[in-house]
């Protein structure tokens, strides 16, 4: 018996080509050789909760350059089920981040521990219409949120940033030498009064967005809490996090909102593990978030805490060139996370203007690039790479182990709830490569183009 296999492939010059279906055969099809790759339901690993990106202010302002009909078409391609990338689980900031128009928080009144002046008025110009436009394409879109910096009056240095810009940035953040933060310290005022006020700040954020019809299902207490940056940032120690969780936990639990530790940057899983060692704090923890540089910590974290849900929170941000080289690099990060227990995978910027420069002078990549002079746009190589996985792997799928005795380690595999198997393979050679792949005892032999990404969808047996 034979079945047909759906196939889509991308090369640097020819993205997203649907190729004529190929047949998968029961048994080895007469071949006596060992398959190059073996995939089986016996190798079922972690469940996959979804794929997404981050709603940033500069994402919306860049898309707003385009005619409305074009913008709607882009969002349909990104979010509508069965159309394009099928994004289903996205992130947003709590207040300003490094891709905001400028610094702001929801309450900049010094000493306002009662949060009488709390307001999300700023977000009505950017984030709220951005999220609503996405949800118009996918009403069941799930959201989680994290701050880059608390209100400045809650911090020990009284400033949104944690570090001075170096000379090459050519920007000013107004930070004095005596306000510079240091990694490995708490830049937050960790007395109970400020911790309690900040927990209430999270609660007011959840409530204010719910009043707008936007539900936030999970929060992470701090973006990159081991990094003092020239843009909005705030360092925390494990002890500071433990103390904060005792205040934040009850606020979120009464609203039915989950808490993940994160987001962790770089290779120090102790910043999560030391918090989990505190039973009172750990009782409020539902998972952990690691951004791209956390790939060096994810294997240890997953090994030490195998039942902990893990989100990859931010694909490496790039340099604004959006080139094929960086798409190939992004694939390696993706493989690392899924092979080490990641339950969800997030890209970073959804859309940026050509060049991708932030308010704080850093050029980064995006899924969509908008040319403001011609009011046109393009989808990037990294968009097509993400789509090679997210378009086919459904929420509720499971990651599958792949086995090879012949050095074929450049693939990811997933089993969807409907029983179909999704295989994404990179051929990183400079020539075509023919492989023999066995899935649950069935074999097919595709030839992969040189320097390409290919997705196969194999129906259930």
Nearest-angstrom CA–CA distance, 431 and 220: 44
pLDDT band per the 50, 70, 90 thresholds, residue 155: very high
pLDDT beyond 60 at 446: yes
pLDDT beyond 90 at 160: yes
pLDDT band per the 50, 70, 90 thresholds, residue 167: very low
Quote the pLDDT of residue 269: 67
Residues of the chain with CATH 2.60.40.1180: 2-46+399-458
Residues of the chain with CATH 3.20.20.80: 49-392
Residues 223/228/233/235 CA torsion (nearest 10 deg): 60
Q: Is the dihedral of CA 383, 214, 253, 95 positive or negative?
A: positive
Q: What tokens does 268 get?
A: 């120090």
Q: What is the mean pLDDT of residues 352-371?
A: 96
For the stretch 65-108, pLDDT in tens is 999 999 999 999 999 999 999 999 999 999 999 999 999 999 99
- Provide the β-strand partners of residue 313: none
Whether 437 contacts 39, CB under 8 Å: yes
Nearest-angstrom CA–CA distance, 259 and 245: 9
For the stretch 186-238, pLDDT in tens is 999 999 999 999 999 999 999 999 999 999 999 999 999 988 888 999 999 99
CATH architecture of 2-46+399-458: Sandwich (2.60)
CATH architecture of 49-392: Alpha-Beta Barrel (3.20)
pLDDT band per the 50, 70, 90 thresholds, residue 138: very high
pLDDT over 90, % of the chain: 83
pLDDT beyond 60 at 406: yes
For the stretch 98-129, pLDDT in tens is 999 999 999 999 999 999 999 999 999 999 99
Q: What is the mean pLDDT of residues 157-173?
A: 72
């Amino acid at each position: 018996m034979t079945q047909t296999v759906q196939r889509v492939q991308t090369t640097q010059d020819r993205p997203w080509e649907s190729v004529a279906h190929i047949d998968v055969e029961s048994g080895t099809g007469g071949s006596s050789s060992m398959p190059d790759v073996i995939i089986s339901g016996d190798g079922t690993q972690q469940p996959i909760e979804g794929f997404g990106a981050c709603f940033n202010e500069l994402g919306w302002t860049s898309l707003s350059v385009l005619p409305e009909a074009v913008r709607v078409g882009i969002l349909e391609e990104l979010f509508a089920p069965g159309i394009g990338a099928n994004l289903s689980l996205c992130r947003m900031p709590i207040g300003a981040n490094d891709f905001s128009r400028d610094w702001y928080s929801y309450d900049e009144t010094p000493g306002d521990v009662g949060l009488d002046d709390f307001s999300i008025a700023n977000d009505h110009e950017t984030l709220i219409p951005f999220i609503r436009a996405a949800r118009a394409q996918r009403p069941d879109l799930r959201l989680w949120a994290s701050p880059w910096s608390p209100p400045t009056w809650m911090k020990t240095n009284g400033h949104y940033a944690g570090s001075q810009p170096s000379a090459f940035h050519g920007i000013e953040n107004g930070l004095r030498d005596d306000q510079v933060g240091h990694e490995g310290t708490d830049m937050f005022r960790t007395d109970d009064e400020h911790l309690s006020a900040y927990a209430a700040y999270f609660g007011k954020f959840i409530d204010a967005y719910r009043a707008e019809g936007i539900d936030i299902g999970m929060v992470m207490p701090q973006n990159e809490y081991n990094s003092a940056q020239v843009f909005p940032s705030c360092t925390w120690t494990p002890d500071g996090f433990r103390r904060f969780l005792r205040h934040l936990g009850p606020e979120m639990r009464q609203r039915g909102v989950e808490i993940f530790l994160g987001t962790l940057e770089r290779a120090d899983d102790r910043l999560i593990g030391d918090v989990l060692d505190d039973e009172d704090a750990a009782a409020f923890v539902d998972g952990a978030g690691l951004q791209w540089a956390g790939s060096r910590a994810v294997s240890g974290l997953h090994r030490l805490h195998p039942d902990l849900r893990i989100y990859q929170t931010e694909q490496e941000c790039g340099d604004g060139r959006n080139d094929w080289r960086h798409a190939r690099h992004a694939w390696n990060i993706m493989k690392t996370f899924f092979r080490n227990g990641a339950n969800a995978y997030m890209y970073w910027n959804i859309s940026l203007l050509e060049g991708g420069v932030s308010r704080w002078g850093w050029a980064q990549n995006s899924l969509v690039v908008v040319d403001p002079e011609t009011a046109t746009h393009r989808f990037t190589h990294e968009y097509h790479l993400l789509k090679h996985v997210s378009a086919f792997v459904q929420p509720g799928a499971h990651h599958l182990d792949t086995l090879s005795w012949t050095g074929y380690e450049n693939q990811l595999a997933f089993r969807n709830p409907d029983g179909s198997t999704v295989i994404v393979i990179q051929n990183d050679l400079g020539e075509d490569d023919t492989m023999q792949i066995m899935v649950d005892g069935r074999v097919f032999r595709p030839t992969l183009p040189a320097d390409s990404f290919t997705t196969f969808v194999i129906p259930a047996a």
